[in-house]
Amino acid sequence: MEKMSSKSVDLSKYQHQPQFSSKSWRNRIWFVVNILFFYTKLPIPVGLKLWILRKFGAKIGTGVMIKPNVNIKFPWLLEIGNNVWIGEEVWIDNLVQVRIGSNACLSQGAMLLCGNHNYKSTRFDLMTATITLEEGVWIGAKSIVCPGVTCYSHAMLVVGSVATGNLEAYGIYRGNPAAKIATVLLSNTHRLSNY
């Protein structure tokens, strides 16, 4: 285990990055819109949600389902393919680009976290990295995908697991940190829409 520095963290020296600032009008407007239309339990029509996301710069395919109580940090850094399902209480903390491929599923309470802090720095500097979920990826309920992770085609992250590294195509991963437990091949008769 790596030894921590003997210096203590001083959060008064933390450097806020301008693109995340609450002083940005775009960020302020999105904060309100997100609460009113996405991060709410009210049954807002999906078509309206998709229209709003596109107006804020998200690239969204067709047939996308976004359930209530979803939290999206910055829609202008979000790309979603066709026929994607996003379940209740999903948190897309996209401080940088997040790409979600077609036919991917994010189950209830899943988290995509693009940021972390450098514990070696006394300023607790923010570190960010993109997340990519390729086609057919399934992120189980209450699972977490960490910064910089790519989940390759049809990879599955089991309920309550934490992906700290890339997930191989068609691999099934479980645990914290997630480890590969099996490989699955889907037949043409089994599609995401059949589940």
Nearest to 103 by CA among 151, 137, 131, 139: 137
Q: Compute the distance between CA of residue 6 and CA of residue 191 in angstroms, rounded to an integer.
A: 53
CA dist., res. 11 & res. 3, Å (int): 20
- SS3 annotation, the chain: CCCCCCCCCCHHHCCCCHHHCCCCHHHHHHHHHHHHHHCCCCCCCHHHHHHHHHHCCCEECCCCEECCCCEECCHHHEEECCCCEECCCCEEECCCCEEECCCCEECCCCEEECEEECCCCCCCCEEECCEEECCCCEECCCCEECCCCEECCCCEECCCCEECCCECCCEEEEECCEEEEEECCCCCCCCHHHC
Look at residue 119 in the predicted model and tell me its pLDDT.
Answer: 75
pLDDT band, residue 189 (cuts 50/70/90): very low
pLDDT at residue 195, as a whole number:
32
pTM as predicted:
0.84
**pLDDT tens digits for 95-107?**
999 999 999 999 9
What are the domain boundaries of the chain? 20-183
Q: What percent of the chain has pLDDT over 70?
A: 84
Q: What is the pLDDT of residues 49-60, one digit of tens each?
A: 999 999 999 999
| Strand pairing category for 126-128 and 115-117 | antiparallel
Asked if residue 37 lies in contact with residue 44, where contact means CB atoms within 8 angstroms, the answer is yes
Quote the pLDDT of residue 26. Answer: 86
CB of 94 closer than 8 Å to CB of 100: no
* More confident: 26 or 37: 37
What CATH class has 20-183? mainly beta
Q: One-letter amino acid identity for 19? A: Q
